[in-house]
Structure 1
Amino acid sequence: MNPLTLIIDQGTHATRALAFDTDGQVQASAHCPLALQRLSADRVEQDAAEIAVSLRQVITEVLADDVVRQAGIAQAGLASQRSSVAAWDRITGEPLAPLLSWQDRRAAAWLTQFEEYIPIIKEKTGLPLSPHYGASKLRWLLDHVPAVQQARQDGRLAFGPFASFLLAHLLRGQPFLVDHANANRTQLWHIDYRDWDPWLLDLFGIPGDLLPACRPIVHEYGLMALADVPVTAVNGDQNAAVYALGQPERGTAVINLGTGAFVLVSTGRRRIRHPALLSGLTASDTLAGEYTLEGTVNGAGSALSWAGEAWGISDISARLDEWLARPEEPPVFLNSIGGLGSPFWRPGPEPAIVGEGEPWQWVTAVAESILFLLQANLDEMRAAGVTISRLRVSGGLAQSGQLCQRLADLSGCVVYRPQETEATARGAAWLAAGRPSHWPELQPGQQFDPRSNKALMDRYWRFRELMGL
């Protein structure tokens, strides 16, 4: 067997390590679940030290696997949750505060003072002004955490995208680096110049010397601390998922249905500017970048979790397909869980059911609301002249065949669900391995063809009306 590619996939609910062969197939894996502290509707944290320990744990477990020991590891890559930030001691590597999650919106009120600069911020970063991104969270850490303030006075403070914290723990010598994709989600980084933007740093009051050095997504980052293995690619989780099957086909939008839901369309070397959608990079090297147009839905799996807790309904994931298959028409759910993402960018109404129904129908309405928010983004992309004829889905919610069929009916697109479910890790492996031309699907996935569904379309437009969209 040829040497393998090791990928660390650091997500909201788990840290995983996976070893891929040259066919893009998983030969070994390890998994460590993580806690999430939802302190309030706007405050969401994780324990950065717990995640650092999980990083070492899963890597050690995979390196000890018999198949891995026999084949060896040629290179490694990292994919991480985007828009989360951390602060730590540059000397010891110890966290100085909890990780502020990508779901965290605690600095939303502070951010409103910059609304007059929204067009400039959007042009420079490709992002709308939003508390989900890193700038306001980093400033909050500077303003409110004594340990962060003391470390800054002592010249020991390091802070930035969570990927930079992970790299400091992953690599020898604790280098202070970050990739382009995760740097982009701070809202402090110029997407065309591909570096920290002095005007943005000054606007938000973030000293540039406290931030990591920016490197391309595909880059020699250094050797792993736990093995003589070079890390050759670092990316955001959703960005990496675009490459799960290799270079994406023209006209294909990639949708990941996880805690949040994200739809990305590769636009190649051309950046498409859209007032309500995101621009980002899915890959970059020292010479060029590959742009993407992206829509984001904050309330996907998190909305179903909210429903389970709020309404006392258990086993939603196990029963979702059964409920979606029933013929009774569901009510409409006003899905503002986590605030409205693109293309609306506002808090939205209070979450609520509009219409009659039993609890299982409420859950069906929540599931449909995720699709409705995705469809609003697809509508915007098509209006911008982007051709979308096929949707490729991944993530935990994509395992619901009924949900995939509804997405096909609503969008009018063929929906393809690969047999391989490790979209983020597999895409990261493809980049880390040097973008090989041979990256096959060993087993075909399932295709869902669009059908006429007038009742679903009617609920979609009713949803938009009720949400004030």
Structure 2
Amino acid sequence: MSPDTMTASESLSNSYVPLIASIDVGTTSSRVILFNQLGQEVSKHQIEYSTSASKEKFAAAGRRRLSVDVNFGEVREPQPIFSAEGIAIEANEYLEIEDLEIDKFGPTLTFPKPGWVECKPFNILAHVVQCFAANLISVNKVNGNRISNGLPPYRIRSVGIANMRETTLVWSKETGKPVVDYGIVWNDTRTVDIVTEKRNNTPQEYQEHLRSKTGLPLYSTYFSCSKLRWLLDNEPAVKESYERGDLMFGTVDTWLIYHLTSNNAFVSDVTNASRTGFMNLDTLDYDEELLDYWNIDRKKINMPKIVSSSEFYGNFEVPECTRETLTSIAWGILNDFCQRKPSVPIQGCLGDQSASLVGQLAFKPGAAKCTYGTGCFLLYNTGGKKLISKHGALTTFGYWFPHLENEEHAKPHFALEGSVAVAGAVVQWLRDNLRLIPKAEDIGPLACRVPDAGGVVFVPAFSGLFAPYWDADARATIMGMSQHTTSSHIARAAVEGVCFQARAILKAMSSDAFGEGKVDVDFLEEVAEETYEQAPLSTLAVDGGMSRSDEVMQIQADILGPCVKVRRSPTSECTALGAAIAASLANPNREDRVMWKDLKDVKKWVFYGGIDPKEVPEGKIPTPQVKIFSSKSNDKVRRHHWKMWEAAIERSKGWMKSIAEDEELSNGKATLQV
């Protein structure tokens, strides 16, 4: 019995329990999660990518054996795989790790040159299909038990997609296959020469004009525009396809929707399209001036239609090209699923950080979220107001749910975004380089063995400083050590370094949102003596690896102070949940939304377990299924520590530039002496 055929179940009951499937493609893994109305995971399957680095390490190890079993032969030493947060993971029933020994397609993630990061588009598609099949098999088993016990079965009603942004893929309109067998990942830096040349040859006034359209810093290797330009300049096959009008350009969301819909829908939602550098935030469409700036001829390239985050894109269908990657059982179950009536639509799409904002239920203007992964990503919801930051943040879209009845909620919602380059990565460094801790999870307990950092300040700028400082020449520094300093002080200073950077971004964002006419005002401190409700930012919603530590989140709350409470989500999969919410709200008619009816309904079910607090007598309001961390810090001590942090930042800036200038000066003196 297929998990989504209703013949057996209808004989027992006319009802079913609706589920929404979320496809979540990150930098290092692909997963599919099935959510119920409470925002709980009913089923989940994940494939964690191995990398070219893993393959080289495996080969270098000479395939060492740990033991020999008489029945099963030689056993190889397992290679460690780490999540984006630096947590060691092992394969289990719900999590696979790419097997580089048997995968003829090679690793999904590769690093061909220093600073280059590539992904295989076909692998990503195949992994998503495999994860979807695994979930169907799992739900099939569960439904058998539910039906035998007189319970209604589960049924998937729609699909949402969350994906890493900016990653750039190109494929052929004629064949649907990649023109080159790789995509350029968001954190690839090969385009540094392109963006540097653009910056040097563009007047400052014109730079600001273009930035007002995109909301993005023009000269970052981060965004898709320079990546597409590099492919056209360096890959003859891409250039030839472009000249023929055959080239299709898109980010990961576009690639997946194109191949997973029966109508090959060629679309990108606003949260992804706004990261390409080609989209005008005001018109919600591609801008000819921006395309001309990057020397892209709109008539020669196929670009996806820009759509909302929550609407019907097409019905789910498994592409034939993935058949060889599946077992016959999995292929059969997927085919049964695709042939059922009514068809299952793909109707939700969000870039990963926007999906996290939605999954954290940060719907109100002024709400903010922080995801602690390898780095930190902070989004600050500004509602329908587009703000171009004067303090180092960039402007993007949070979401667009056009079918909501409330006119304000139905408008595209803007957000300010800031990134911290190093978060979980500093924990990895403490574990792997300094060997202070055996596991990433030990960082919180070690840091809390001491009440403070003992005067130590750790600026974890291993690859420069991101928002709001934007100094690529900065480097990591540890200051203020003495003979009293212990491993606990260093661990605490490292955690505080991440939390201080998050505070710096939130301070910059609140200044953008509320600082008109006010200079050098710290809005996170200004309202400390006023009522909590008057704060421009009252809650920071958190998720991601480091957020799982109570100790780390308490440190974050103490650094933010009494104006801002830290709220940890009841689900660790906020990104995938955000895509599910987008899919649920896509139906134009409210009565057709089988999971959640509107944003308030989402909060009622996910935070309060289906109970509306307004309908409960006073004093019996259910406790939200979230954990809140409030500051326990002393105002004077907290402000002193912030001044120490700012001083340390100033001493960390310009390190590489200073060295280069010193070397240049030394070389000049040597020449003169000769």
TM-score by length of 2: 0.65
Aligned to 2:313: 221
Alignment of 1:58-457 (within 5 A): 58-64=131-137, 65-66=139-140, 67=142, 70-95=153-178, 96-115=180-199, 116=203, 117-129=206-218, 130-208=220-298, 209-226=301-318, 227=338, 228-246=343-361, 248-249=363-364, 251-275=366-390, 276-285=392-401, 288-306=411-429, 308-311=431-434, 315-327=438-450, 329=454, 331-356=456-481, 361-386=489-514, 387-412=536-561, 413-434=564-585, 436=597, 437-439=600-602, 440=605, 441=607, 442=609, 444-452=625-633, 454=637, 456-457=641-642
Deviations 1:52-75 (A, max 9, x none): 211111111112222479322111
**Paired letter, 2:633:** S
Most deviating of 212-221 and 380-389: 380-389
Deviations 1:1-20 (A, max 9, x none): 43211110111121111111
Deviation of residue 288 (structure 1)?
Answer: 3.2
Deviations 1:11-56 (A, max 9, x none): 1121111111223222111111123434566322223222121111
Contact 1:330 1:362 in 2 (8 A): no
Contact 1:103 1:338 in 2 (8 A): no
**TM-aligned CA distance change 1:63 to 1:251, over 3 Å:** same
CA RMSD of aligned residues (A): 2.5
Q: How far apart in 2 are the matches of 1:239 and 1:181? A: 7
Q: How far apart in 2 are the matches of 1:405 and 1:34? A: 32
Deviation of residue 397 (structure 1)?
Answer: 1.3
Aligned to 2:130: 57
Deviations 1:103-145 (A, max 9, x none): 1122122112333343122200111122111111111111112
Provide the secondary structure at the position in 2 that maps to 1:368: helix
Deviation of residue 161 (structure 1)?
Answer: 1.8
Deviation of residue 362 (structure 1)?
Answer: 4.5
Bigger strand share: 1
**Paired letter, 1:210:** N
Provide the secondary structure at the position in 2 that maps to 1:438: helix
Q: How far apart in 2 are the matches of 1:421 and 1:195? A: 34
Give runs of ≥4 in structure 1 deviating > 6 Å: none
**TM-aligned CA distance change 1:352 to 1:94, over 3 Å:** farther
**Paired letter, 1:213:** K
Q: How far apart in 1 are the matches of 2:434 and 2:581? A: 42
Contact 2:544 2:572 in 1 (8 A): yes
1:34 counterpart = 2:66: no
Q: Structure 1: which 5+ residue stretches go unaligned? A: none
Q: Greater Rg, structure 1 or structure 2?
A: 2
Deviations 1:191-228 (A, max 9, x none): 11111111011101223333222111112110111333
Deviation of residue 257 (structure 1)?
Answer: 0.9
Deviations 1:216-270 (A, max 9, x none): 1112110111333111111111101122254634543111111221111212112
Contact 1:28 1:68 in 2 (8 A): no
Aligned-residue sequence identity (percent) comes to 28
